[in-house]
Amino acid sequence: MELFVQSVISGILLGGLYAAIGVGLSLVFGIMGLTNIAHGSLMILASFFIMILSQQATGSVILSLILTLAIMAAISGLAQGFLVNRVLDKGAEPALLVTFGIAIIIQNALQLAFGADFKSIASPFASINVVNSKWVVITGEYLLNFIISVAVIFALHFIVRKTWFGRSIRAASSSVVAAELMGINTKRTYVLTMSLATMTGCIGGLLVGQTFGFYSYSGMSYLIIAFGVVVIGGMGSIVGTLLGGVILGVAQLLGAYFFGSGVQILIGYLTLLVILTLRPRGLLSNMTRK
Amino acid sequence: MNDSALLSIEGLSVSYGDFLALHDVTMQFPKGRIISIIGSNGAGKSTLLRTVMGVTKPTSGHVIFSNEDITGLQTSKIVAKGLSMSPEGSYVFEDMSVHENLMMGAYLPSHRKNMDSLLERSYELFPVLKEKSKQLATFLSGGQRQMLAIARALMSEPKLLICDEISLGLAPVVIGDIYDRILDVNDSGVTIVLVEQEVKRSLEYSDFSYVLVKGRVVMQGKADELDEGAVRDAYFGINQFA
């Protein structure tokens, strides 16, 4: 029974992190109808930047994260402006293929530069137990991951709902023609949206880098987690990703509890299939694309 | 009337590949007037408006607004200069509230400062929008959407407002109501361009009319001097213009 409670609690905390991984994917899909295959690889690229900067330049993870946010916002914004935007009005598939290409370029560049060794980012909270009772143990790292992820999601929710930039994003997603007529430069909005989404991915990259570690090809496995989260929560729903993350996290750890850790990933995606069967658009899909 | 033209379109041609959508179109829109552009589906009305608003680039010709060449300028820059358009099919932002839709009309930073008084004015112009201000636009009726699209276009305090097919799919009583509000807007000093398929009402409400057939201006004149029957013939392509 203790292990059951532990599994649920850990699943919820893990789910928060999953949501931080998925929310950028959801945002980009909701706004421009683009399935960004490069999301996971951009995230891992950020993990490498944070690791290198903190080890060799700044000595501080926080400072390295801030620098990485700026670098990744620039890289992803340029990729959107010069590559994805050019094919976006030719339908969903060409743009998807472009992001697939970007993912492969990032993976191979990382492979060339760093090899296939497993890396991680040092975490000061890894060994601290915040709660240590008979029923449940919560590590500082998992708790902090959860808190940061929830903060990221609510910050993003606030930006999209309450700021002029957020309104321009929603307007562009609702009707490009009408948005342009309001004076919104929708291509520029897409660039900023991609930068914003990738910045959430940077925070995801920091957290997975500290918690699980990564190597040059990790992007694709995190992309699959992000897909799971976003599909369960509802494509385009920001708060839905939090729900999707928690469901996926709990399903995986309960799967491990009942059937053994070898099948936990399988159980997670079986849950995904069940939810997709019952709610094909995801649980909280509120944005509709035309 | 050329001297006081707020907007003039000079020899505008637009082609999509081999297809000539607009051929040497010249039109004048004098300040303070209501001018209608009448044409059937596929006459080139949408292409004309898209080109004026900077969405489509012309093959040749010029668009002059307030004595300034705005041909091919970015839409956001054109809106900033005081041109505004209520799009056909009254594209509203479905998942935003009525209030937020109106706010979007004042999106450009230079337009935001008078937003509160402009919102008040929108609600005075169309009181039903005030009743529905908190509702999502997706729940509005066709007429209410059209009102919202017009009010939203007015939020940028335009000198010239283009209304694309107001009457499309609406009941006559609703159309009449909206047209009367357009007259109010015109009285406040805004030049109006009505783009319509419906001949009778366009002539009735405008000072001057252009008839567009297959991308060409085939007839023009003061609205009260144009013969409705002749316009209709041209429009349906019954006579030599076909």
Q: What is the pLDDT of residue B240?
A: 47
For the beta carbon of residue B48, count every other beta carbon within 10 angstroms: 29
Q: Is 70 exceeded by the pLDDT of residue B83?
A: yes
Residues of A in contact with B92 (CB under 8 A): 175, 178
d(CA A242, CA A247): 9
Which residues span the domain enclosing A84? 2-124+142-278
In a domain, A288, yes or no: no
Q: Which of A165, A182, A237 to mutate to test the interface with B (most CBs of B within 10 A)?
A: A182
Contact B14, B59 (CB under 8 A): yes
- What share of chain A has pLDDT > 90, as a percent? 66
- For chain B, the average pLDDT equals 89
C-alpha distances in Å from residue A207, one per residue of A146, A148, A149, A241: 10, 9, 9, 17
- The token pair that represents B79 in the structure block: 């809106």
In a domain, A135, yes or no: no
- The token pair that represents A268 in the structure block: 């997670």
- What share of chain B has pLDDT > 70, as a percent? 95
d(CA B154, CA B172): 23
d(CA A230, CA A26): 6
Q: Is 80 exceeded by the pLDDT of residue B90?
A: no
Residues of A in contact with B108 (CB under 8 A): 182-183
- The phi, psi pair for B68, rounded to 5°, reads -125, 135
How many domains does the structure of chain A reveal?
1
Q: Is 70 exceeded by the pLDDT of residue B1?
A: no
**What's the rounded mean pLDDT across residues A7-35?**
93
Q: Is 80 exceeded by the pLDDT of residue A270?
A: yes
**Residue with more model confidence, B127 or B228:** B127
The CATH number of whichever domain residue A94 belongs to comes to: 1.10.3470
Q: Which of B23, B11, B49, B15 is nearest to B195 (CA)?
A: B49
In a domain, A208, yes or no: yes
Pairing of strands B160-164, B5-16: unpaired
- What share of chain B has pLDDT > 90, as a percent? 62
Q: Is 80 exceeded by the pLDDT of residue B236?
A: no
**Residue with more model confidence, B175 or B169:** B175
Residue A160 at interface with chain B, using a CB cutoff of 8 Å: no
Residue A144 at interface with chain B, using a CB cutoff of 8 Å: no
Q: Say if the Cβ atoms of B55 and A183 lie within 8 Å.
A: no
Segments making up each domain of chain B, as ranges = 5-236
| Strand-pair partners of B22 | B14
- Residue by residue, DSSP assigns B73-107 as --HHHHHHTTEEEE-GGG---TTSBHHHHHHHHT-
Q: Is 60 exceeded by the pLDDT of residue B238?
A: no
Residue A163 at interface with chain B, using a CB cutoff of 8 Å: no
Name the one residue in this structure whose structure tokens are 């903190």.
A54
What value, to the nearest 5°, has the Cα angle with vertex A93 and ends A185 and A44? Answer: 80
Tens of pLDDT, residues A148-186: 999 999 999 999 999 999 999 999 999 888 999 999 999
Domain B5-236: CATH architecture, name and number where available: 3-Layer(aba) Sandwich (3.40)
Q: What is the pLDDT of residue B241?
A: 46
Residue A256 at interface with chain B, using a CB cutoff of 8 Å: no
**What's the rounded mean pLDDT across residues A126-152?**
86
**What's the rounded mean pLDDT across residues A135-154?**
90
